[in-house]
Each structure stands twice: as structure tokens, then as C-alpha cells.
Amino acid sequence: MKRRDFLAGAAALALPGAVLAQVDPLEDPLVRALAGGAPVRKGKVTLVLPQLADNGNSVPIRIAVDSPMTAADHVKSIHLYSERNPVPNMANFYLGPRAGKAEINSRVRLAGSQRVTAVAKLSDGSFWYDAAPIVVTLSACLDES
Amino acid sequence: MAARIQIPREARRGEVIEVRILIQHPMETGYRHDDVGHLIQRNVINVLSCRYNGVEVFRADLSSGISANPYVQFYTVAEASGDLEFTWADDEGQRGSERQAIVVKG
């Protein structure tokens, strides 16, 4: 076997494994509790995180929800969940039609490589989510830094 | 607790404006130890809200999962001239507030 073939094969084997290792955000008990039995669908929400963060103490995050933000149709709240932080519910943001645009930017702490999930609750009672994986080189929260 | 707020000085009525706030706060997680091994008590800003001329337009529950010196950027519609007033509180019960004026034309 050529070295090149071997590497390609190893990469192909490693990738699906990494995907399978992650928990489905919909299986997260916190997300289930938030939705209270209502379906949480993928879409409308865009969660942007860097692919790799050198330092988990301050990771820029952007959450945008596709919504007209009118009195009849707006985003009520956005909830951020972490897979590996000691406090999984990182933040909740409450918006309303006065926001004009459903977008939040902030900086979060992440304790290790993981998947971050953002769930949005809309005024019609529906729930939407997006998730993004991130590799964190230096974890936050638990180390003595 | 000092904070820096950035909003446009002037806006047209109905314009969506960007609001940025940065609060000086350690956001102590409660998982760190001091030099002699004692656990440092958690002290994070747990609530931040923004009122536009007295009406709440934004609120956030924060946790130790938010970076030290928390930065939040959001949007609001410029409805009338007046003040945007920010208030926040941490686990030790310390409260902070800051206001910024905006002139709305048209």
C-alpha cells in the first residue's frame, strides 16, 4: 500500500468516527426541557464559531436567526448550549419585535473541543436549532489559568 | 463596574441599530483555586438588560460560560430620541448601570 493511500484511508476512517461520537443535540435533556415536547427542527438559526480556537477562554460566537422580527413573527429567545462545559446552558438571550434583527454576537468560554448548539424559540411557538463543532486547544473553566 | 457602550449617536426613525456593550468583570467561574488552594467563589454577571426609553428591548441570562469582561452585541430599532439604559447584576449582588443617549431623526 502506498503511503498516500494509507493516509487517505485513515482520514476516511477517522472522520465518520468523530461525527458519531457526538451526541445529537435533540437528545440533550436541556434542549428537550426547553422545548417541552415540541419538535426542535434544524434550520432558520445560523451559529458561527471559529473551527479552531487556541484559547477556550474567549471564543467569538455569532447567532443569527432568519426572522422578519415583526410583532406577528419574531424570535422570542435564543438559548446556547455546550456539550462539555460544567454549566451547559451558557446563555439565554431574550429578544422581541423591537430588536429589528435577530442576531447576537458575544464571546464564550469553552471547556474543550465540542459541539455548541443554539436553539431559538419563535413567537409562533416553534423551535429551531443549529449546531457547530469546534476544536479548542486550551480549555477554559477547569484549568488553573 | 465600568462598562463601554457603543451605539450610533444619530439614527433615522425605524433604522436597525447595532448596540455593543462590554462590561469590566472577571466572570469568576467558581472552578478556580487561589494560590493557597481555596476555591474562588463563583461571581458572574447573571443578568443583563437593556431598556430603550423605559421599555425592555433586550435581556440576557449569562453564566460562567461567558468570557471575562463580557461582550454582547445585539440590534434594536431606533424608535425615538432618548436613552438606552443598561443594567446588570452579579452573583455578589453588585449592580451596575450605564446609559447612552441617541438622537432619532425623521
Q: Does B59 touch chain A (CB under 8 A)?
A: yes
Please report whether residue A9 resides in a domain.
Answer: no
Take residue A73 and report the three cell numbers written for it: 413573527
Whether the per-residue pLDDT at A117 is higher than 90: the answer is yes
Q: From the CA atom positions of chain B, what is the Rg in Å?
A: 16
What distance in Å separates the CA atoms of residue B106 and residue B87, rounded to the nearest whole number? Answer: 29
Please report whether residue A10 resides in a domain.
Answer: no
Residue B64 has its nearest CB partner, among A87, A92, A107, at A87
Q: Which string of b and e fits B49-76 if b means at least 16 CB within 10 Å? A: bbbbeeeebbbbbbbbbbbbbbbbbbbb
What distance in Å separates the CA atoms of residue B57 and residue A12, rounded to the nearest whole number? Answer: 48
Instruction: Determine the structural domain holding residue A117 and report its residue range.
Output: 24-138
Mean predicted confidence (pLDDT) in A84-110? 94
Please report whether residue A19 resides in a domain.
Answer: no
User: Residue A58's closest chain B neighbor by CA?
Assistant: B67
Contact A107 B66 (CB under 8 A): yes
Measured between beta carbons, the chain B residues lying within 8 angstroms of A57 are 67-68
Please report whether residue A83 resides in a domain.
Answer: yes
Contact B71 A86 (CB under 8 A): no
A10: part of which helix (H) or strand (E)? helix A3-21
CA separation (Å) from A16 to A10, A113, A116? 11, 16, 19
CATH number for the domain harbouring residue A110 = 2.60.40.2470
CATH 2.60.120.10 assigned to domain B3-105? The reply is: no
Whether the per-residue pLDDT at A15 is higher than 60: the answer is no
| Cross-sheet strand order for the sheet of A45-48 | A45-48, A59-65, A103-108, B71-77, B16-23, B3-6
What tens digit of pLDDT does each residue of A67-91 get?
Answer: 999 999 999 999 999 999 999 999 9
pTM of the model: 0.86
ipTM: 0.93
What is the residue-level pLDDT of chain B in tens, covering all 106 positions?
789 999 999 999 999 999 999 999 999 998 888 889 899 999 999 999 999 999 999 999 999 999 999 999 999 999 999 999 999 999 999 999 999 999 999 8
Residue A106 has its nearest CB partner, among B58, B64, B66, at B66
Quote the number of domains for chain A: 1
What tens digit of pLDDT does each residue of B31-49 get?
Answer: 888 889 899 999 999 999 9
